[in-house]
Amino acid sequence: MIITELTIIGGVDKDRVAEPVSEITVKNGEIISIVGPTGSGKSTFIADIEQLAQNDTPSGRRVLINRAAPDPDMRRDPRRKCIAQLSQNMHFLADMAVGEFLRMHAKSRGRSSDTLDHIVERTIGLANRLTGEPICEDEPLTILSGGQSRALMTADIAVISDSPIVLIDEIENAGIRKQEALKLLAGEGKIVVVVTHDPVLALMAKRRIVMKNGGVVGIIETTRKERGLCKSLVRMDNWMIALRETIRQGELVEGVRHFEPEHVGRVELKRTGAVFA
């Protein structure tokens, strides 16, 4: 089934008042962000999408796929699942090696056994682009750090789950390269819903959903001026990343220049840290 549209029909907020935005439709190829204060209902909103809610969750929202209520099988059968989620809190509990887990997951998603080695290699390779300390195939899942676990899940979603709808909850707190991760997860033609407090990620989206008190209170289209601002923010962010990396590597940062917007284009990342022009 090709998914072209995801629609969320409004329900109620925490006070049982109807949400002022009664319908949101996201088409394939769009990244939409969700913003709002802590506790405003962002994770609940994406949980409703993940469960394909049909007026059976506390918010009373309904989720439509291609303008129709989804086949109940889509909710029950994991092989028919069209949604992948990178959640806010996740840990691996399984007592198995990284490679073994990825093989098992790929098999359960119907991949043929002669492609498994390649899939495992590709997934770990991508994960290692997102994290500082590399992950190895024969390491047990349980010894991975928080950042490594999220990097592995991200790569798993991109390579193995490869679902048409991707839900992401606060990737900026994951300790991984967030912009790269978002681009990787967005892929071609997917519907991506990303909860974020990060201005760069929020402005990378074409629209952002604004939440308050458990309900959707507005949708903002990213303006041209905001897109311009986003470009400067990306440069500033890269400057911060480089700085952070230098500190992480245990080096001094006293030679680093102060941030000046006209210089940031020349900031470079070297393997071990930052170089500032």
Ligand X SMILES: Nc1ncnc2c1ncn2[C@@H]1O[C@H](COP(=O)(O)OP(=O)(O)OP(=O)(O)O)[C@@H](O)[C@H]1O
Orientation of helix 116-130 relative to helix 146-156, angle to 10°: 130
Window 236 to 265, contacts with ligand X (CB under 6 A): none
Q: If DSSP codes are grouped into helix, strand and coil, which group holds residue 272?
A: coil
Mark out the alpha helices in 112-166 (DSSP H runs): 116-130, 146-156
User: Which x/- pattern, by CB under 6 A, does the window 9-38 give for ligand X?
Assistant: ---xxx---------------------x-x
List the strands of the sheet with 5-9, edge to edge.
Answer: 23-27, 5-9, 62-65
Nearer to ligand X, 18 or 136 (CB): 18
**199, 225 in Cβ contact below 8 A?**
no
Pick the binder of ligand X from 18, 23, 25, 39 (CB under 6 A). Answer: 39
Of 82, 29, 36, 39, whose CA–CA distance to 205 is shortest?
29
Binding mask 81-120 for ligand X (x = CB under 6 A): -------x--------------------------------
Among 33, 40, 43, 85, binds Mg ion (CB under 5 A): 43
Q: Rule CB under 6 A: choose which of 5, 28, 58, 243 binds ligand X.
A: 58
> According to the binding rule CB under 6 A, does residue 43 interact with ligand X?
yes
* Residue pointed to by tokens 């080695």: 117
Question: Do residues 61 and 8 make contact, with C-beta atoms less than 8 angstroms apart?
Answer: yes
40 binding partner (options Mg ion, ligand X, none; Cβ < 5 to 8 Å by kind): ligand X
Binding residues (CB under 6 A) for ligand X: these are 12-14, 36, 38-44, 58-59, 88, 214-215
